[in-house]
Chain A
Amino acid sequence: MEAKIDTTSPRFSPEALAKAEEIFKRYPPEHREAALMPILHLAQREFGGWLAPEAIEYVAGFMKLAPIRVYEVASFYTMYNLKKVGKYHIQVCTNISCWLCQSDAIVRALERRLQIKVGETTGDGRFTLVEVECLGACVNAPMLQINDDYHENLTPEKVVGLIDQLP
């Protein structure tokens, strides 16, 4: 897009560019900035599951916004990963309803199985384990999210099985 962007920087594939055009159509043309959040989501998907400083710069150029303007949005919302995450981003809800249904045991089972602590990534880069706030599946507690998918009504045994069968 912008000539000044370093060619070694991340850039959208043709498919992503087509998707971006679809996104812009959702908002009135005079309010193009509204597309920033969906474009950041798209960038995160395109660029390996996280937003490196180069990705933020690229989105800023793409959106014709100042990089700081993009960074302040990316850093405000927890789902934009500003650090690299594993291939499988395991997010365990430990808020009240899940906690009442033994989410602590889910976290412990995962820590044991993956041999990492909450907040860490396995050495092979496959798994990142984090605790998150309520994911809105409280009647099926305890639960967790791996990338885009919810896994509900868990037990420590089920969660180990779930991790083990991931490709």
Chain B
Amino acid sequence: MNQPTPIQIVFKNIHKADSHTLEVYLQGDGYKSMAKALHRTPEEVISEVKASGIRGRGGAGFPAGIKWSFIPKASNKPKYLVCNADEGEPGTCKDRDILRFDPHLLIEGMVIAAYAVGAERGYIYIRGEFFRESQRVEKAIQDAYAGGYLGENILGTGVKFDLAVHLGAGAYVCGEETGLLESLEGKKGQPRVKPPFPANVGLWGGPTVINNVETLASIPAIIEKGGPWYAALGVDKSTGTKIFSVSGQVNRPGNYEVEMGISLRSLVEDYAGGVKGGWDNLKGVIPGGSSSPVLTRTACETVTMDYDNIARAGSMLGSGAVIVMNKSVCLVRAIARISRFYRHESCGQCTPCREGTGWLAQILTRIEAGKGRAGDIELLEELCGNISGKTICALGDAAAMPVAGAIRAFRDEFVFHVEHGRCMVE
């Protein structure tokens, strides 16, 4: 099986030796897009990004250009740009590769974004466990300052942008943008009530844009080749490329950058080396990180990897973490494991999430252990309904969706567990 030639936009450098260094980055025309952007007006830069149609790669899929345009032009408070590198959605590990192998691409994207929205200070919020990656990024920032790509007078244009790393300390909820802002301010990472949205009231009360690593790393190519060029890649409302982290029971797990709209089957078979035991051995796929509902094999046959099509199939593209499960997997056990994660990560602020994630984990663990009771499945469904949409942030929904989705897609397995006190897989 030959791997197709992938299109490389975000991953264009990572296979080069010493790709993380400024020297290698400059050899590949590094910081030229930034120079180009700084000689255009901020409005023109935002228009270019809007024209590209790029949507946020962190999970929510909000169009980046539109997000930037929400930043008020006049503000009596400083504006900020924050990169969300708190990569924590289980199954997702794409941003780590950008941080450790191409930090200058991220920095270049950030300078362009900061210029477009008028921010003079920015932060890269990196999850605490990525300590080695953060060292790479800090070195790259130092080198960028020394080279005149950051600081008071970038490339002599008079544009100012200061950038620093802020290291997290192990809290999934800080991937939520307002939890992240709280954490950046030196507090517990408990998400804020919205509105106001960060575009109006963000970091230290200033207008703030928060973008994912992959989104920002896509910006230099959009400026270099133009929004329409980027928009021609992918499909309709899912333009450009996306990095999919394909993990689980595949022969060649990895981070693969492909055009949006590729079929899930092609991604798994042509890139990730196929399902262990062959396609017919596939049980289901979690297509967008642990929060996204599992797709059955039937759905996997036809679904394509774009926002709309995955939504139509009953799940979501999320962060692009494709978790493949073959027939050896007990779905109840898999979902029980995921539910324990959400129980651990609930910040405790909202009762439906704090209590609900505990109940979900407890009941699923009980069912998985063969001690399920009549009515447990219905109780789980009721709980999911009582959590969804009733919390300050999306963590509650993220906890409920995989449970409700798994029961919807694999109800027989849950019923068998409850009725027979064991798994139907073994």
A residues in contact with B347, CB < 8 Å: 76
User: In the complex, how many angstroms separate the beta carbon of A75 from the nearest chain B beta carbon?
Assistant: 9
Are the C-beta atoms of B253 and A77 separated by less than 8 Å? no
Are the C-beta atoms of B186 and A95 separated by less than 8 Å? no
Evaluate whether A136 and B334 lie within 8 angstroms (CB atoms) in the complex, with A76-B171, A96-B90 already known. Answer: no
Of chain B, the residue at the smallest CB distance from A133 is: B341
Are the C-beta atoms of B132 and A149 separated by less than 8 Å? yes
Does A121 sit within 8 A of B, measured CB to CB?
no
Among B91, B128, B166, B338, the residue within 8 A (CB) of A79 is B128
Does A145 sit within 8 A of B, measured CB to CB?
yes
A66 to B141, CA, bound (A): 33
Are the C-beta atoms of A37 and B290 separated by less than 8 Å? no
A38 to B134, CA, bound (A): 12
Are the C-beta atoms of A73 and B187 separated by less than 8 Å? yes
User: In the complex, how many angstroms separate the beta carbon of B242 from the nearest chain A beta carbon?
Assistant: 15
A141 to B338, CA, bound (A): 16
Are the C-beta atoms of B171 and A35 separated by less than 8 Å? no
Instruction: Identify which of A26-34, A111-119, A157-165 touches chain B.
Output: A26-34
A40 to B128, CA, bound (A): 12
A33 to B186, CA, bound (A): 6
Does B62 sit within 8 A of A, measured CB to CB?
no
Evaluate whether A73 and B93 lie within 8 angstroms (CB atoms) in the complex, with A38-B166, A79-B129, A80-B169 already known. Answer: no
Are the C-beta atoms of B188 and A37 separated by less than 8 Å? no
Among A28, A36, A97, A136, the residue within 8 A (CB) of B127 is A136
Are the C-beta atoms of B88 and A37 separated by less than 8 Å? no
A residues in contact with B184, CB < 8 Å: 34
User: In the complex, how many angstroms separate the beta carbon of A64 from the nearest chain B beta carbon?
Assistant: 12
A residues in contact with B325, CB < 8 Å: 100
Interface hits, B159-204 → A, CB 8 Å: 164-172, 183-189, 204
Of chain B, the residue at the smallest CB distance from A73 is: B188
Does A101 sit within 8 A of B, measured CB to CB?
yes
User: In the complex, how many angstroms separate the beta carbon of B169 from the nearest chain A beta carbon?
Assistant: 3
Are the C-beta atoms of B290 and A34 separated by less than 8 Å? no
Interface string of A3-38 (1 = CB under 8 A from B): 000000000000000000000001110010111111
A residues in contact with B248, CB < 8 Å: 96-97, 100-101, 141
Among A26, A99, A136, the residue within 8 A (CB) of B92 is A136
B residues in contact with A139, CB < 8 Å: 93, 245-247, 253-255
Does A128 sit within 8 A of B, measured CB to CB?
no
Does B241 sit within 8 A of A, measured CB to CB?
no
Does B16 sit within 8 A of A, measured CB to CB?
no
User: In the complex, how many angstroms separate the beta carbon of B118 from the nearest chain A beta carbon?
Assistant: 16
Are the C-beta atoms of A95 and B253 separated by less than 8 Å? no
Evaluate whether A37 and B247 lie within 8 angstroms (CB atoms) in the complex, with A96-B337, A134-B88, A139-B93 already known. Answer: no
Are the C-beta atoms of B171 and A138 separated by less than 8 Å? no
A residues in contact with B247, CB < 8 Å: 97, 100-101, 138-139, 141
Are the C-beta atoms of B186 and A138 separated by less than 8 Å? no
A residues in contact with B260, CB < 8 Å: none
With most chain B CB atoms within 10 A of its CB, the pick from A37, A40, A73, A149 is A37
Does B279 sit within 8 A of A, measured CB to CB?
no
Of chain B, the residue at the smallest CB distance from A38 is: B167
Does B321 sit within 8 A of A, measured CB to CB?
yes
A residues in contact with B345, CB < 8 Å: 133
User: In the complex, how many angstroms separate the beta carbon of B369 from the nearest chain A beta carbon?
Assistant: 15
A residues in contact with B324, CB < 8 Å: 100
Does A150 sit within 8 A of B, measured CB to CB?
yes
Are the C-beta atoms of B253 and A94 separated by less than 8 Å? no
A114 to B90, CA, bound (A): 28
Does B286 sit within 8 A of A, measured CB to CB?
yes
B residues in contact with A97, CB < 8 Å: 90-91, 247-248, 321, 323
Are the C-beta atoms of B87 and A40 separated by less than 8 Å? no
Are the C-beta atoms of B245 and A135 separated by less than 8 Å? no
Interface string of B244-283 (1 = CB under 8 A from A): 0111110001110000000000000000000000000000
Of chain A, the residue at the smallest CB distance from B169 is: A77
User: In the complex, how many angstroms separate the beta carbon of B205 from the nearest chain A beta carbon?
Assistant: 10
A77 to B169, CA, bound (A): 5
Are the C-beta atoms of B164 and A26 separated by less than 8 Å? yes
Of chain B, the residue at the smallest CB distance from A75 is: B188
Interface hits, B320-341 → A, CB 8 Å: 321, 323-325, 329, 334, 337-338, 341
Does A82 sit within 8 A of B, measured CB to CB?
no
User: In the complex, how many angstroms separate the beta carbon of B103 from the nearest chain A beta carbon?
Assistant: 16
A33 to B95, CA, bound (A): 28
Does B359 sit within 8 A of A, measured CB to CB?
no
Are the C-beta atoms of B245 and A138 separated by less than 8 Å? yes
Does A41 sit within 8 A of B, measured CB to CB?
yes
The 3 A-B residue pairs with the shortest CB-CB distance, nearest first, are A77-B169, A36-B186, A78-B170
6 residue pairs of the A-B complex, CB under 8 angstroms, read A26-B164, A41-B128, A79-B129, A137-B96, A138-B90, A138-B247
